[in-house]
Amino acid sequence: MSNSWGIHGHDWAVEYLQRGMQNNRIRHAYLFTGTSSIGKNTLAHAFAIALNCQDERCRKRIMTGNHPDIIYSETDPRTGTLKIESIRAVANRIAMKPYEGRYRIAIFQDFDHAQPRAQDALLKTLEEPPPYAILILLAESTENLLSTITSRVQTIYLRPVEAAVIRDTLIQHYHTDEETATLLGRFSGGRIGWAIQAAQDPTILEQRTQALDLLDGIIRANRIERFHIADDLSKDKLALIPLIDLWLTYWRDLLLMIEGSPVKVCNIDRQATLEQFAYQITRADVLKAIRATQTFQRQLGISLNLRLALEVLFLDYPTL
């Protein structure tokens, strides 16, 4: 399913934003939440186009990040943290009048990766926004966000997209063959952005295979081996974000197997291994692993001793 904005799988969110525009009830600040690669960034740009563009030239400039009235925050390229200096810089620029469009629009990527002090730097702008300014905050969840922030924004939670919708989107709009599209729809866990990227870049599926092989190895490894893996993984924080997202889908699949759920697993190519683990690992151990992985996922948005956090995570994983 798509719509006039070209957004796939999130028609309800598009309709909600369109109604606000039609009724002249546009908020000064929005928060788009949802797991990584689910479409938050794409929706933010489509919204910006709908607000500011009357022609194709404007649309292309926004999609390529070259429009003077669209401002972006910048995360630290090494840690992925959204620092206070970046937020202050955007807040200063959003105060200026638009150059071409009706609005100045600021898009804050990974706002949940900002420390509380950095989030506070945006508070004055949220409380007293310029009449022509619109702020769009993107975050995986609201758990790491201050209540003073969430109470001043309109939150739109992007839900996982059905596998069948992703399959049809890949076939109809990205010329993917039916077998591949079906597999990607299942593998994606509802993350339509990931599925589209994987359809266009075969290395993404290779990376997925390596990541799941690594998790299988951790489950079979002893404590010393796990600590060596933690040391290796701690050297690249940004690479851990998609890795942990994928691992959560695997633990979810294992829980479904153990409970005998009729819900289809995402990682269908791992069904044999999942069935084996389902006989060897208890439901309580899987739930413990899920909670530990979710806790670590939240911690990735803050400063932490990454190696130590990974060691703690792996100690909470079951051992065969």
The pLDDT of residue 240 is above 60: yes
Assign residue 87 the CATH number of its domain.
Answer: 3.40.50.300
The pLDDT of residue 2 is above 70: no
Q: Do 102 and 18 belong together in one domain? A: yes
Tell whether 176 is covered by a domain. no
CA distance 4 to 66: 22
Q: Do 45 and 122 belong together in one domain? A: yes
pTM score, two decimals? Answer: 0.88
% helix / strand / coil in the chain, to the nearest 5? Answer: 60, 10, 35
Each residue's pLDDT tens digit, 197-237: 999 998 999 999 999 999 999 999 999 999 999 999 999 98
Identify any residues that bridge with 133 across adjacent strands, giving them in sequence order: 104
CA-to-CA separations, 25 to 20, 22, 134, in angstroms, rounded: 5, 8, 12
The pLDDT of residue 296 is above 70: yes
pLDDT, greater one: 303 or 27: 27
Amino acid at 165: V
Each residue's pLDDT tens digit, 55-92: 999 999 999 999 999 999 999 888 888 999 999 999 99
CA-to-CA separations, 24 to 45, 117, 266, 291, in angstroms, rounded: 19, 33, 41, 42
The pLDDT of residue 1 is above 70: no
Confidence band for 238, pLDDT divided at 50, 70 and 90: confident
CA distance 121 to 119: 5
Domain of 95, in residue numbers: 11-157
Tell whether 184 is covered by a domain. no
Tell whether 166 is covered by a domain. no
Each residue's pLDDT tens digit, 105-121: 999 999 999 999 999 99
pLDDT value of residue 303: 66
The mean pLDDT of the chain is 94
**At 41, is the secondary structure helix, strand, or coil?**
helix
How many domains is the chain built from? Answer: 2
Tell whether 169 is covered by a domain. no
